[in-house]
Amino acid sequence: MSIGNTSILRAVDIYGEYVVSPLLSVKAVTNVILHMNSGEIVGIAGESGCGKSTLVKILYGYIEPSLRVRGRVLLNIDDGTIDLLSVDEEYKRGRIWWRYISYIPQNSMNILNPYMRVGDHFTELLKKHLNLEKDEAIRVAGEYVEDLGLRKDVLKAFPHQLSGGMRQRIVVALSLLLKPRVIFADEPTTAVDVVLQKVLLQYLLDKQKEYGSTLIIVTHDMSIHAMATERIIVMYAGHVVEEAPTELFYEDPKHPYSRALINSLPRLGDKGIRQGLAGQPPSLINPPPGCRFHPRCPYSMDICRREEPPINKYENGWRVKCWLYVKR
């Protein structure tokens, strides 16, 4: 499968806010511009409440009431380009989701329908998208599950009869069933044991390589980003503050927030003193003027308090949203 530098997904000027009342909204995602190439593994990092899950929902085109969105998400499919935020919902459900893009939501071990056997989740998908007959679908599902290293009787079980790790693995397998071009994984390995975490992550990466898909991993765990991703996007309070190649990023993060984040990570075999950040992220109902990180930033200057910094190119593919890197 050809893996070139062809762009597959572009997000242009994305804004997303949760409407609480006509006068009040939580601005979860503000002014995000992104692009994803086909075949790459991108990580979205940030701490709780920074808008990373909302961003992924928008990129997937899954807009629930109370979330209001502006901007465009352009996805390349076989016959041209579509805007996920403006196409018809039925079209998205029938043609795009699962087949071109798939989404592993947070807490994925609890999203299987408790009234449906595991096998029915597979056959429903196969019948709907590939128009297979029931017997054929059961056979395909059986082979697929055996390939995962699970026994075929798993298909006859109800979700509650399986352990959390097995359910999580099945959800991951379901999302990869139709060989999607883009896979969004929102905290795919949180809440599972370390050993299982590695198993799941390796499975996901193996399949990504096999299908040549684009994989977008969203997690707060910086160790997973280091182990899995090629490019990393750091979010803070609804903004993308840094975007960089993973390997270079860990050596020398540019944004003061990213730097603090990396410096706060303890490592096995290193007892050196680590420091965290003081203060807490701003309220997204009334975000502070200027740079949203300035109240906690050790380098904050006058301009940081007044004006929002632009997101600037630092090097190839490295972008930073900070006044420190703006030449004036």
> Helices 164-175 and 194-211 sit at what angle, rounded to 10 degrees?
10
User: What is the nearest approach in angstroms of other proteins to the Cβ of residue 232?
Assistant: 9
**Alpha-helical segments (H) within the chain:** 52-60, 89-91, 118-130, 134-147, 164-175, 194-211, 222-228, 246-251, 256-263, 302-306
Residue 19: C-alpha distances to residues 56, 61, 65, 67, 95 (Å): 18, 18, 9, 6, 29
User: What is the nearest approach in angstroms of other proteins to the Cβ of residue 251?
Assistant: 8
Nearer to other proteins, 282 or 309 (CB): 282
DSSP annotation of 97 = B
| Residue with the two structure tokens 């994803």 | 36
Nearer to other proteins, 260 or 320 (CB): 260
Q: What are phi and psi of 193, to 5 degrees?
A: -65, 160
Per-residue tokens: 55: 């961003």
Nearer to other proteins, 73 or 232 (CB): 232
Nearer to other proteins, 164 or 310 (CB): 164
> Helices 118-130 and 164-175 sit at what angle, rounded to 10 degrees?
0
User: What is the nearest approach in angstroms of other proteins to the Cβ of residue 265?
Assistant: 5
User: What is the nearest approach in angstroms of other proteins to the Cβ of residue 122?
Assistant: 18
User: What is the nearest approach in angstroms of other proteins to the Cβ of residue 299?
Assistant: 16
Q: Under 8 Å CB-to-CB from 193, ≥6 apart: which residues? A: 165
Q: What are phi and psi of 191, to 5 degrees?
A: 75, 15
Residue 21: C-alpha distances to residues 24, 51, 282, 285 (Å): 5, 19, 20, 11
Nearer to other proteins, 10 or 209 (CB): 209
Per-residue tokens: 216: 């977008």
Tally Cβ neighbours within 10 Å of residue 146: 12
User: Which residues bind to other proteins, rule: CB under 8 A?
Assistant: 47-48, 148-151, 163, 166, 169, 193-199, 201-203, 205, 220-227, 246-247, 250, 260-262, 264-269, 271, 273-278, 280
Nearest of 163, 164, 315 to residue 242 by alpha carbon: 315
Task: For residue 144, give the amino acid letter.
Answer: Y
Nearer to other proteins, 130 or 265 (CB): 265
Nearer to other proteins, 83 or 230 (CB): 230
User: What is the nearest approach in angstroms of other proteins to the Cβ of residue 74?
Assistant: 30
User: What is the nearest approach in angstroms of other proteins to the Cβ of residue 112?
Assistant: 17
User: What is the nearest approach in angstroms of other proteins to the Cβ of residue 77?
Assistant: 31
Nearer to other proteins, 41 or 183 (CB): 41
